[in-house]
Structure 1
Amino acid sequence: KAEKGKLAFKAGENVKVKFKDDHINYYSNISGYLEYEGGTLKVHAPFWISEDFMEAHYIGLPAVDGIVKQLTSDELYDQMYDKQIKHGIIVEAIEDIVNPRKDGKNGFAVKLIAEGEREKKGEDSKIELFFEKDRQAGKILEDGRMDYREIDIVKTVKRNQLIAVKHLPREGLKGKNLKGEIIPAPKGDNIKFNALNNIKTVAGHGKILYYSTIEGMVVLVGDTGISVNPQFEIRGNVDYSTGNIEFNGDVHIKGSVISGFKVKAEGDIIVNEMVNQDVELISSGNISVAQGIIGRNNNTRITAKGMVTAQYVQSAYIESGADVIIKDYIMNSIIKSKGEVITPDKDKSHKGTGSIVGGEIIAMKGITANSIGSDYAKMTKIIVGVDFEYDTKIKNFNKSVEYCDHEISKMLKFLKLGFQNIDTLKKRVAKLPKEKQKPFIEGFEKLKEIGKLRNEIITKKESLIKATDELSQQANIVVKQGLYPRVFIQIGEIKTSIQKLYEKIRLKTSKNKKEIEFLAFK
């Protein structure tokens, strides 16, 4: 019996109230589960729907008093429709729910009653090569990407020869949620694979065909392009009979490069014998020296955007955009690599010492050697997990930000903004005659552009710092035999000096990024 002017309970979700004489009656709008909390009555629909509206489950709770009102299929479908469950309904599941169990037991049950179709991403583009793979510039992985850690001299191809096919990414399969709404599917990733020198492309159905326009050497350039380069062959040495060499393609030197000469190539440089003191080699591809690279106080300079390989290196400077692989030893040299520095190479037929003694080695991805340092070397400096261009890039970013700040300061003075709020100034400018508004409007636009540029520069700088931090976690130093005292070690930003002999050791940063871990190498 109700008190006059007062409800016994509050009517919550899916509950309605009817007054009759001196009684208050509470009715459920749906078939579901009653909840009483804090003086409020609620009725919950017997469904759970996922946040992405791709699944709906029926929740069957046990009855407290043993009495369960059996839902009809019409009631169940009506409630599902009210919850916008219109697609993917599992009819068999509904039949199981509305037909009571033969054993009369009504326990707790969760049953999937509707399921949408999830979207499926399309297939990524893939690269297929049609030249000799045992001599190719890199390894093609199963998913179509390329691994360029071991780049070799490639085979010659003929004019108009099909050398590669890029299979374009495919469209994905669209999905549909329980509401019947279409869920767009992402297209497969498009691998960049540019036609560079002496390549023509022909569009086919779902693919791009790459043909050589000349007879020459086919080279995979980085991981984004393919090129066919003409080859310039020198049958003897680079010396006074040839002069300095500069060529838009590959240069193959059958002899040595004599002291004082320079070779520059847009393609690979291959030297069958020696590179002597005071020589400069510059390549937009790879540099391969069959014998040694010798300098004096690092006056021999080797610079390659790709990989550098040699028998040994002594008192030379090497800068590489990929791996540096030395078959025998590295002594008193400066080597900067954006890949790994490895000595000896993985070919077991070469019986090199695999030692690094003296000098400075900076390798972005890591260093593997038989031994580092010696009982007689003064100091050997080893740095991994750092891009050797990192400091320069950070300085350039900082200079760019300073330039933007300077330009913003100049523009604020021009606008006579001072301590005024820019929105306040805009309102004041809007009251000026049209002809006087123009310089202010142009100034506002330039200020906006410079501010946007500044934010982009800061974002790129932060991305570089983050990438370098991640790189330092992946890089490591592997010493298969002996790591000697007087070796300076740096992994990322963490530094240490070796004070005793370690054997068969691997060095990496700890999980807390605060120290270098010394792990046994097996």
Structure 2
Amino acid sequence: MEPPAPVQEEKDAFGVPSGNPLAKVWALCNQPGTPTLNPRFAPDCGRAVPENALEKNFYKILRQLSTLSQSWLDMEASAAQARDEADAAAAAARAETDNAEAPSQSDQAEPVDAPIEETAKAEPSLVSDQAETDDKPEGTAIQETVPPAPLDVDEMAQVLVSGDGMVVWMLLLPPSGNGRRLSVADGEALLRDANVTVGIDQDALQAIFDNKTYFCLCPVAWGTPPICGKDGWTEDHFQRNFVRGMGNTDTGTVDYRAQSNVQAISKDAVICDIYPPVEGIAGLRVDGVAVPPPPVKEAAVPAGSNTVLSEDGTKLLAGIDGFLEFRGNLFEVKNLLNITSDVDYSTGNIDFRGDVTIRGDVREQFSVKATGNITIDGLVEAATVEAGGDVVISNGVSGNGQAVIRGNHVRAKYVENSTVFADTLEADYILSSRISCTDSILASGSRGAIIGGEVIAAKNIKASRVGSQSGSPTEIILGVQPKLREELNANRKQLMNIRTESSELVKRVAYLKNRMERSRPDERSIKKIQAAELRLSQLAEDGASLLSCQRMLMEQLNGLAHCRLESSLVYPGVRLTIGGASQNIEAAINKCVAVFDAEEHNIKFV
């Protein structure tokens, strides 16, 4: 038996149980160490066997190799028995030969020249044998006892295919005696018998039979594993776990008031992009059977309330204005923001598309802005509150001259030292504030007073008391739309600028023309005159347009028929203006109703 090639211990070798037939073959072949299934990679094959391939198929491989090893052991046992029998027969034959050639003591005592007859009598068997031989006819073979030839065990090989059909190993067992050596052709035949038709590495197969690598699992064929596809996925444009941001000022300091408490979002804004799954590529087993890739899944679209898919299904959009939250693995857009505390450093400024409810106060220097309604259960300090809808302030506004409130209909318990821009205002009392309403102002309630400041309404002002006994200066203006008045003032400033520029251009053109009359005309002066005249033409068109707009604004501002001031008591110190007429109240007026007399163009008390 040839000495087996030494087995190199490797980190991914797997031990074989001591009672297994393969372990017995290992021991009979004088392999060093403990029996292992030791995978060996073909040199320079450029391929790798998955790390867990042997681990997954260990017991299957061990069972197949046990059958092969038992066959080897059975043949080796038969060969050993035959060898023992042959050795015994050979020993017996040698003993008989030795006995036949050795002379007896009596023969040695006889004289050499004894008569032939006596010699023949002493060896009757020999004579008889010779006589029998001489009596046999020619051509008859002499029968002799020949011991049987010893049995030999050929090399054995086993093809082992992994359970998934992606890896094929071959294991070679050594021959015994003069057993036949296997060739590459034998290996190819074994692969065909195992239905291995794809991915055979001829170099690896050749190396097995050239190097006689016994007891090692040598990979000889590889399948092509399928390439996994990719499930559909989404890419978010907004944070799922929202972290409040901070606004940095130009000086590099952090403005904690500018922190964003929520993720504001506009209708039709893209919440996330949705990508379809990518199909995988099929693989091929060593027996030529295709292996489909794992199935892929559609993207899990996090569509919650008030969200919609785009027409092509590739985007998740906000269905309404509001703020975005991620709850229960879904994006939701809400149009009601509920602040359960004060608006202060814990919340930062609020800027929201939708309605806002604040359970506490709005602290100084903070702002609340919303496209919908704003409801404040507490009070507003020197802060800014701007709503696209209505503003309701349960405890009033104490503005310290800095608060600004904007909304359609503003309702507050009181307004002190603040500025309000609204369509209508309703409050218990108004103190030292600047109020501009495009419709009406109502100071109702237990006090119902308007004291100090400037109060402007396009139509009506109604209060229990206007002014105070101390004569606090109070300006009441009716019949002037605040926005229209601002537009009119801007219009007048533009007209004044046009007239000033036109006057300067006229003077410049006259100067250039006079200079050209006194001296020779030059190209440069001509171009200046042409540019100035073109500019004058443009200014004339702009001025005409502004005058037309001014007339329209004046017509709107002159709609004074429905303007009226109603108050149970108007104190001295009040200046009342309706349209273009003004009057200072010098004596208290009870049950005052003031209107505009269109005929007299003056204020009339009725």
TM-score, length-scaled by structure 1? 0.46
Which has the larger helix fraction?
Answer: 2
Which has the larger strand fraction?
Answer: 1
TM-score, length-scaled by structure 2? 0.40
